[in-house]
Structure 1
Amino acid sequence: MTASISRTQEQALKDLAAKYKVSMAWLVRYAVDQLVEQGREAQLPLDFARRG
């Protein structure tokens, strides 16, 4: 899988990875796990107009 993120998002991930001493890949997997879990429990308030 490939995902495109903004430079701002990339820098935020790098900062979080350094802060918590984990890889950026681990953070992305963690975020995906959280989103999947939330989606199972309730309707997510996704704003599809903002895609891009």
Structure 2
Amino acid sequence: MAIIAEEGVVRVTASLSRAQEQALKELAAKHKVSVAWLVRYAVDQLVEQGREAQLPLDFARRR
């Protein structure tokens, strides 16, 4: 689901495992950034990698 939060910004909902949530919280605290910032950073990295090469996506693990 995506919701337009403001002009040019879209809010997206994703489900994470508890382990993923905890890992993100720990990384955010370690680097003094928000979990939202880390998610945006990760999306930017994935988009950039996807432009340059085939991603090693394991669709068997998709949930």
Q: Does TM, normalized by the shorter one, top 0.5?
A: yes
Identity of aligned residues (%): 87
TM-score by length of 1: 0.98
TM-score by length of 2: 0.81
Aligned CA-pair RMSD: 0.4
Higher percent of residues as strand = 2
Q: Aligned pair count? A: 52
State the structure with bigger RCO (CA 8 A, min sep 6), 1 or 2.
1
Runs of 4+ in 1 over 3 A off after TM superposition: none
Name structure 2 gaps, 5 residues minimum. 1-11
Higher percent of residues as helix = 1
User: CA shift at 1:16, angstroms?
Assistant: 0.4
Say which one has the larger Rg.
2
Name structure 1 gaps, 5 residues minimum. none
